[in-house]
Structure 1
Amino acid sequence: MTQSPATPLPPPKERRRLREAGSLTQAQVATQVGVSRETVRSWETGRTNPRGRKREAYAKLLTSLGEDTPTEEQLPAEEAEAAVEDTAEITGLAATVTEPQPTPPPPAPLTPAQAFDALYAFCAPALVRQAYLLTGRRELARESVERAFQVAWQRWPEVAVDRDPAGWVRSVAYEYALSPWHRFRPRYRHPEPPPPDTADRALLTALLKLPPSYRRTLLLYDGVGLGLAETAAETEASTPAAANRLLHAREALAAQLPDLSDPTELHRRMTELASTGRLHAAKPPTVRFVGERRTVFWTRAAIAFTVAIIGATTLTVRTAPTHYEPPVPLGQRVEGVPPRVVQGALSEEEVSLRDRLRSGMTSGPERLAPLGR
């Protein structure tokens, strides 16, 4: 199967300029294209690029914004001069264009705690809502995101240099939220109250009926707005497998909710469902403090366990035998001995044995002989 060439897009800075020239916000562009606001921000910074139908819709929107924004060549000469003068007066460059401008000092580098807090403030609210769509439990969604950021703080040197720190944390949060071991925890044995709205309740029920892998693929592609290749990489699947999961998930949802067959409408409804509940994450210092305490606890537990193993090994070495001791052999059975009986008159067999012993002891060399009664 051949692929069509990708639709050309302007550079990232030009994308932002066209959006601002059209007086549109990132949220408005995201709604028109059918993605999230964070995805539009990634496109404008050049961190990621749209693919497939999202790329075509985004390119079409930018083209319309470029046609609607007049340039200086399209303006009359007088209007162009007036626009230049107005711009110069507004920016304060008309009177000071020849004066040298002081060089702003370079920004101070962020500390690890400040960088972590910035990442948490940017990603945590959206991740809690996404985890709620995966699990249908508000408390588990908050716990999953907090645990993911605690792991990120423990491994911050690795996360800080990752290409996509937000994707790193999102992957850990999804894995924790979809863990099958939560069903054995007493606090999660009973379901939480469903959303009050009937449509939201039906959508959440339909999502929770999907297999976890299908649910995660659908959320990443139609909810978060990732491309098919990025979705396959995050779910650790091949691109054809991710595409099949996405198609089956859409078919299952459309069978229960026919009005959600359109991906744009599905994205809008999922966003509304995630925004209905009060889903608030903890403060960044609290997450860092709990993560550090958990690290200290498990470090001490590992040290104690290691010391116990060393002590048990030392005790075994000190008390174990140093040479081989053969086992005691089993005794041999002696035949011909009459059974032990209580005291009394001798039986005929015992009298015969006594007489035989007495007669046998009188022969041979001189020896002691029992006296007769």
Structure 2
Amino acid sequence: MTETPASPLPSPKERRRLRESRSLTQTQVAAQVGVGRATIRAWERGRSTPSGREGEAYARLLSGLGSTSGPPAVLTPDQTFDALYAFCAPALVRQTYLLTGRRELAREAVERAFQLAWQRWPEVARDRDPGGWVRATAYEWALSPWHRFRPSHRPPEPLPADPADRALLHALLELPPSYRRTLILYDGVGLDLPETAAETEASTPAAAGRLTHAREAVAALVPELADPAALHQRLLELATREHLSAAKPPTVRTCGERRNVFWTRAAIAFTIAIIGATSLTLRTAPTHYEPPVAPAQAVHGVPSPAALGPLSQTEQALRAKLHREADGPERLAPAAR
């Protein structure tokens, strides 16, 4: 028989609201209840009902969150952004390193993603999963094919010291980018299949196919990682061994603001240049149509002028004939005085 918690449970939507009102993550709640993060996610979405001892612990936790005296503290946008950055950035840099195999590119991608998030903070702060929004943006930036043309990315990246880590990283980089991203999201980050499909903009069957082929390709190169549980553990170990760090939250916010100001001024300057060029064109353009002058062309078929001298018999006969047939008066000749 299924046990039910002693305390009444709120609705799934209210469970999530209570957790977020105290700025708790699903991982933190799962650690307090003694279950996995996927279980907390399923309880908050209503896919399953809490039961047993875990359900009782979850009900007591929610009851404590709802009965805490006083309203939750109101944080400023800077504080909420810094809290999200401090919670997500360290792990996200390591995940992006698994995705690209380049340490500096991983740091740059995460910082660019958070800078874009700060520029769109009202939108990102209201998102259902701000961390997922930043992660998707960082992955898109890191997987851009244009990075291969950058001079700083042409030299090879130093490989990990451990041979097992080198073999796993080599197997990951041999995968197509879409397969590699799906594998890291599912086996590395721990997303379920629908969430992985949504973040990679694919259908659930397509994401499942990519995951299966990616696991098979990794297992072909590293046979001891054929077990998904072993692969998950090795991905976590490889990411943890790389001592990667991101910039401080104020630095990221300042760089994002400066970049925003720069592009705003560039857009204004470009608009002014377009307006100036248009005005100059209108002032100097002709007001009526003037047909172009045709280029000079040589005229052919004109007889050459006759040379001066006495007339031949034929020319004399022709002149006499013309004189006889002329209707008008004779040609006047000047008389000598």
- What TM-score does the superposition give when structure 2 sets the normalisation length? 0.75
Q: Residue 260 in 1 paired to residue 235 in 2? A: no
Which residue pairs with 1:281 in the alignment? 246
Among 99, 104, 107, the residue aligned to 1:142: 107
Q: Please tell me whether the aligned partners of residues 133 and 204 of structure 1 are also in contact (alpha carbons under 8 angstroms).
A: yes
- The 5-angstrom pairing of residues 290-301 of structure 1 reads 290-301=255-266
Unaligned runs of 5+ in 2: 20-28, 58-67, 323-329
Q: Please tell me whether the aligned partners of residues 222 and 263 of structure 1 are also in contact (alpha carbons under 8 angstroms).
A: yes
Task: Sort the Cα spacing of 1:8 and 1:130 in 2 relative to 1 into closer, same or farther, 3 A.
Answer: farther
Q: Distance in 1 between matches of 2:311 and 2:145?
A: 84
Which residue pairs with 2:26 in the alignment? none
Q: Deviations for 1:234-274, whole angstroms, at most 9, x for unmatched residues? A: 10000110000000001101111111111111111001101
Which residue pairs with 1:179 in the alignment? 144
CA shift, 1:112, in A, is 0.5
Q: Secondary structure at the match of 1:326?
A: coil
- The 5-angstrom pairing of residues 139-288 of structure 1 reads 139-288=104-253
Q: Please tell me whether the aligned partners of residues 43 and 50 of structure 1 are also in contact (alpha carbons under 8 angstroms).
A: no
Q: Residue 43 in 1 paired to residue 9 in 2? A: no
Q: Secondary structure at the match of 2:264?
A: helix
Q: Please tell me whether the aligned partners of residues 253 and 260 of structure 1 are also in contact (alpha carbons under 8 angstroms).
A: yes
Q: Distance in 1 between matches of 2:203 and 2:110?
A: 26
Q: Distance in 1 between matches of 2:141 and 2:311?
A: 90
CA shift, 1:196, in A, is 0.2
Task: Sort the Cα spacing of 1:27 and 1:257 in 2 relative to 1 into closer, same or farther, 3 A.
Answer: farther
Q: Distance in 1 between matches of 2:194 and 2:243?
A: 32
Among 1, 7, 31, the residue aligned to 1:26: 31
Task: Sort the Cα spacing of 1:354 and 1:148 in 2 relative to 1 into closer, same or farther, 3 A.
Answer: farther
Task: Sort the Cα spacing of 1:219 and 1:27 in 2 relative to 1 into closer, same or farther, 3 A.
Answer: farther
CA shift, 1:367, in A, is 6.7
Task: Sort the Cα spacing of 1:367 and 1:270 in 2 relative to 1 into closer, same or farther, 3 A.
Answer: farther
Root-mean-square deviation (Å): 3.7
CA shift, 1:302, in A, is 0.5
Which residue pairs with 1:343 in the alignment? none
Task: Sort the Cα spacing of 1:221 and 1:321 in 2 relative to 1 into closer, same or farther, 3 A.
Answer: same
Task: Sort the Cα spacing of 1:107 and 1:268 in 2 relative to 1 into closer, same or farther, 3 A.
Answer: same
Which residue pairs with 2:307 in the alignment? 350
CA shift, 1:364, in A, is 2.6
Q: Deviations for 1:92-118, whole angstroms, at most 9, x for unmatched residues? A: xxxxxxxxxxx9543431001111000
Q: Distance in 2 between matches of 1:259 and 1:29?
A: 30
Q: Please tell me whether the aligned partners of residues 30 and 40 of structure 2 are also in contact (alpha carbons under 8 angstroms).
A: no
- What TM-score does the superposition give when structure 1 sets the normalisation length? 0.68
Which residue pairs with 1:364 in the alignment? 331
Q: Distance in 2 between matches of 1:179 and 1:365?
A: 97
Which residue pairs with 1:336 in the alignment? 303
- What amino acid maps onto 1:167 in structure 2? G
Length, aligned pairs only: 289
Task: Sort the Cα spacing of 1:166 and 1:283 in 2 relative to 1 into closer, same or farther, 3 A.
Answer: same
Q: Distance in 2 between matches of 1:8 and 1:353?
A: 140
Q: Please tell me whether the aligned partners of residues 50 and 227 of structure 1 are also in contact (alpha carbons under 8 angstroms).
A: no
Q: Distance in 2 between matches of 1:124 and 1:106?
A: 28
Q: Please tell me whether the aligned partners of residues 33 and 54 of structure 2 are also in contact (alpha carbons under 8 angstroms).
A: no
Task: Sort the Cα spacing of 1:333 and 1:190 in 2 relative to 1 into closer, same or farther, 3 A.
Answer: same
Q: Please tell me whether the aligned partners of residues 43 and 49 of structure 1 are also in contact (alpha carbons under 8 angstroms).
A: no
Q: Distance in 2 between matches of 1:314 and 1:9?
A: 77
Q: Secondary structure at the match of 2:241?
A: coil
Q: Secondary structure at the match of 2:127?
A: coil
CA shift, 1:365, in A, is 3.6
Q: Deviations for 1:288-337, whole angstroms, at most 9, x for unmatched residues? A: 00000000000000111111111111111111111111222455727224
Q: Distance in 1 between matches of 2:148 and 2:32?
A: 37
- What amino acid maps onto 2:111 in structure 1? E
Q: Secondary structure at the match of 1:130?
A: helix
Q: Please tell me whether the aligned partners of residues 136 and 204 of structure 1 are also in contact (alpha carbons under 8 angstroms).
A: yes
Using the aligned pairs only, state the percent identity. 64
Task: Sort the Cα spacing of 1:332 and 1:197 in 2 relative to 1 into closer, same or farther, 3 A.
Answer: closer
Q: Distance in 2 between matches of 1:9 and 1:194?
A: 52
CA shift, 1:44, in A, is 7.1
Task: Sort the Cα spacing of 1:337 and 1:144 in 2 relative to 1 into closer, same or farther, 3 A.
Answer: same
